[in-house]
Amino acid sequence: MSNLPDEAFRDTIGTIDEGGNRKFIFPKKPSGKFYDYRKIVSYVLLAILVANPFIKINGNQFMMFNVIERRFNIFGFPFWPQDFYLFVISMLVGVVFVILFTVVFGRIFCGWICPQTIFLEMVFRRIEYWIDGDRGSQSRLARQEWNGEKIRKRLLKWTVFFLISFGIANIFLAYLVGSDQLFLMIEQGPVKQASNFIALLIFTGVFYFVFVWFREQVCIIACPYGRLQGVLLDNKSINVAYDFVRGEKENGRGKFNKKEDRALTGKGDCIDCLQCVHVCPMGIDIRNGTQLECTNCTACIDECDHIMESVGLPKGLIRYASEDEIAKKEPFKFTNRMKGYTAVLFILLSVFVGMLFLRTNVEAIILRLPGQLFQHKGDKISNVYTYKIVNKTMKDYSDIHFELIDQKGEIKNVGNKNFKIKREETAQGTLFIEINEAILESDKTTIKIGVYNGKELLETTKTNFLGPRSFN
């Protein structure tokens, strides 16, 4: 904000003191309309996050990101390495979606949806308020000597935090290796499932470290999305913003005085009570303007609204607004940049949904054996092929066989004509296709092969059939 002369706050971050040491923040417990809405949204999202790896659709885990075995399930659709292009598109859609949202609605994702914010503000911080008390008690407890009260409260808090971190690590592992593996580990014990158990302990340690000590530093230092804000936001993006025009007026902010008529003295509506600063979990002063640290958590909106109400001024001194809305009184406009992002998002989404529905549960690759042409077998021409069938589902298929589609001829599978493929397994082998020479119209015919389970057509694939050149 250009009319705020002192920009020194941009040289430091609120959580590091002048000596370069970590400054712990003890934010005031938020309360108000937005905090209540955020609680509802957070607990719904938490329930979804916890339930996702335990829900199954057609035997497939609803969400799974098994990077070790390169198996991914998204909304119950299994993605194999062969489907990697779909996975990449879904990631692209996700990234564009977040960018679009950031351009239009600022960091709404950080404040309302990000799991880090939800766990920190709605789980760990709330337990902390319950055990240690509000801002004043927390900072007093941190400063005081180790006595009975401090030992008791710290032990209780760290134990509860460890148990929750352990719970989160279990959920995380269920996303990573699958809930079946997690249950197997619980059943067989840590010795038999040593690698999973070690991973569980490492994740627990990481979550404990993040939520007990590192906290808001994740958003400020570690999160790449946070660092992108400077590029994505512009004067038209909606953010949690302080209305400096109204707050400062001609003669700036000033303490509240019941007897003073601020319209006459030219003072702004900000009574410099600092409550918006005390409630901020990132330790910043929103009155300095849009800052990298601000996660748009809305706590300062609620807090300032309480203050405005108590001094009889209109609410909304801090609110969701764009810079132009505040400085130029311009109403919100859907800019060309926003339209461009929406169009890209829509195209990507359409491509993704189309590909998702065109994708089959069974994938068949049938290729002519390299270096082989064709053989005469009486009045028939024979070509030899190798095949690979991938069963991406959680179903076993017991009667798999091949049939030619739109072409007369015979398929001879080496080994059993009909074979089985278990769930999530592949089958490969060799087959011969024989076609009567008299009905071949070219030396290279494209043929369509159906992969059936009993009478059910699972997949079709195309390949070439070679024959002699002397056709009329």
Residues of this chain that interact with ligand SF4 (CB under 6 A) are 240, 242, 247, 270-276, 279-282, 284, 286-287, 294-300, 303-304, 307, 317-318
CA 89 to CA 313: how far, in whole Å? 50
CB of 297 to ligand SF4, least distance (A): 3
CB of 62 to ligand SF4, least distance (A): 32
CA 174 to CA 199: how far, in whole Å? 11
Backbone dihedral angles phi then psi of residue 401, each to the nearest 5 degrees: -155, 170
Is residue 313 within 8 A of residue 269, CB to CB? The reply is yes
CB of 283 to ligand SF4, least distance (A): 8
Q: Which is nearer to ligand SF4, 41 or 404 (CB)?
A: 41
Q: Give the DSSP per-residue string, 184-235.
A: HHHHHHHHHTHHHHHHHHHHHHHHHHIIIIITTHIIIII-HHHHTHHHH--T
Q: Which is nearer to ligand SF4, 200 or 317 (CB)?
A: 317
CA–chain centroid gap for 306, Å, is: 34
- Per-residue 3-state assignment (H helix, E strand, C coil) for 347-370: HHHHHHHHHHHHCCCEEEEEEECC
CB of 318 to ligand SF4, least distance (A): 6
- CA dist 45 → 51, 54, 112, 118, 279 (Å): 10, 15, 10, 9, 24
CB of 289 to ligand SF4, least distance (A): 10
Stretch (H or E) spanning 409: none
Helices (H), 322-446: 323-327, 336-358
Q: Which is nearer to ligand SF4, 28 or 71 (CB)?
A: 28
CB of 125 to ligand SF4, least distance (A): 12
CB of 332 to ligand SF4, least distance (A): 19
Handedness of CA 256, 258, 261, 263 (dihedral sign): positive
Q: What is the CA radius of gyration of the chain?
A: 32
Q: Which is nearer to ligand SF4, 279 or 389 (CB)?
A: 279
CB of 273 to ligand SF4, least distance (A): 4
